[in-house]
Amino acid sequence: MINEFAKTHNLKKYQVDQFNIGYYKTLISSFDELSTWSKQLREDLKKELLFSKLTVEKTETSNDGSTTKVLFKTGKNNYIESVLMRDKSRNTVCVSCMSGCPVGCIFCATGQMGLNEILDEQEILDQILYFARELKKENSSITNIVYMGMGEPMLNLENVAQSIEAITDTDKLAFSKRRVTLSTSGYVQNLRAFLGKNLGVKVAISLHAPNQKLRDILMPNVSKNNTLIDLFEVLDGYVKDTNKRITYEYVLIKGVNDSISDAKELVELLKGRLALVNLINYNENGCFEFKKSDNTLLFQDILLKNGINCTIRKSYGGDIKGACGQLSVNYIQC
Ligand code: SAH
Ligand code: SF4
């Protein structure tokens, strides 16, 4: 974050290192705490750079204490949400890469907002650093980071990739690549470019349908120009090169994509592929008439019996609208 500042102030490498240690490792809570720097340099830093480009507007914690959702405001007065989910020894942070989302999948509350703003690298990092600082107060730390909040990462490719580089950089957050997962609705060309960067993070694809026709209905803006055939060409190539498994997210919506025949079709689609299906029961969100499926266990059973790895995603923070697909800022009237 201090590249420009380092240039204009002719900082030495050791001073940049001191900054990185304070900001990313000690997790200082203001530039005043950067005690390794002179007072003068700290004052200049405060004048020229914001400690965080995001400001906290509101925090909400679920009744069971497992989930905290934070509403942040950007410098352009747009809102984003980020979520911390605690489960035993895991602390997973779900970050947004946009305020709203331009893709408009017909079941997703974030898509209903449209796009307000894409976030830059710093704004993505600010969300992660916020939770890292909060957890540090409890002598704890983030264990997993998921790019599964508001927005479509492949439509904000450079900022997302730079933020991943910063969190995994050993001089900065030094976070393990294997504990970072990025979810995308599947913009094929950008996905190819992203995978080509070899950032080493896990990739999840929002599939949600076992065939092109149903996917076109559920995710029309992405699906029609990024067909399953093209998507699998990129993914199969990636798996062949890296031997890394792809996660396929499948949101189960009652009467829409949760029948026995849908499950069987999904088996056929993924047979022979290195895949994990992560079923997400639909989180009702007040925006749409769609309902939760009653078929989750049966659907999983069909996949497992036919040799497809399949897990069911635990839902967090439903009571504070912090679960998958519920992130939408409340001024949107659903
Ligand atoms: N835009 C990216 C990142 C968002 S991740 C993507 O779509 O992959 C959020 C995940 O929750 C996606 O898999 C999304 O399709 C899913 N989702 C959206 N609305 C949902 C809902 N109401 N209930 C459950 N999952 C939902
Ligand atoms: Fe955007 Fe993902 Fe929601 Fe689709 S599912 S509208 S891509 S956030």
Domains of the chain: 1-51 (1.10.150), 52-320 (3.20.20.70)
Alpha helices for 49-172 (secondary structure H): 109-112, 121-137, 157-168
The tokens describing 207, both together, are 């599939």
CB within 8 A of 112, min separation 6: which ones?
104, 287, 328, 332, 334
As a whole-number percent, the residues of the chain with pLDDT over 70 amount to 96
Mean pLDDT of the chain: 94
Question: Which residues have C-beta within 8 Å of that of residue 66, sequence separation ≥ 6?
Answer: 85, 86, 87, 316, 317
Count the Cβ atoms, other than its own, within 10 Å of residue 227: 15
What pLDDT, on a 0 to 100 scale, did the predictor assign at position 314? 84
Contact assessment for residue 310 and residue 276, using Cβ atoms and an 8 Å cutoff? yes
User: Which of the four pLDDT bands, split at 50, 70 and 90, describes residue 162?
Assistant: very high
Q: Tokens representing 274?
A: 């290195």
Res 315: pLDDT: 78
CA nearest neighbour of 44 among 2, 72, 81: 2
Q: Residue 1 — very low, low, confident or very high, per pLDDT cuts 50/70/90?
A: confident
Whether 81 is catalytic is yes
What tokens does 142 get?
Answer: 């983030």
Closest ligand to Cα 110 = 2
How many angstroms does the Cα of residue 282 sit away from the middle of ligand 2? 14
User: What gap in Å lies between CA 110 and CA 108, rounded to an integer?
Assistant: 6
- Please indicate whether residue 4 is annotated as part of the active site: no
Residue 332 pLDDT more than 50? no
Q: What is the pLDDT of residue 316?
A: 76
d(CA 36, CA 251): 49
Catalytic residue among 94, 105, 108, 324: 324
Residue 13 alpha carbon to ligand 1 centre in Å: 42
Pick from 107, 202, 222, 256 the residue to mutate for probing ligand 1's pocket: most ligand atoms within 8 Å of its CB. 107
Note whether 123 and 96 are within 8 A (CB): no
Write the pLDDT tens digit of every residue in 70-123: 999 999 999 999 999 999 899 999 999 999 999 999 999 999 889 999 999 999
Q: For residues 114 and 333, is the Cβ–Cβ distance under 8 A?
A: no
Dmax over CA atoms of the chain, in Å, equals: 68
Cα 329 to middle of ligand 2, angstroms: 14
- 227 within 8 A of 269, measured Cβ to Cβ: no
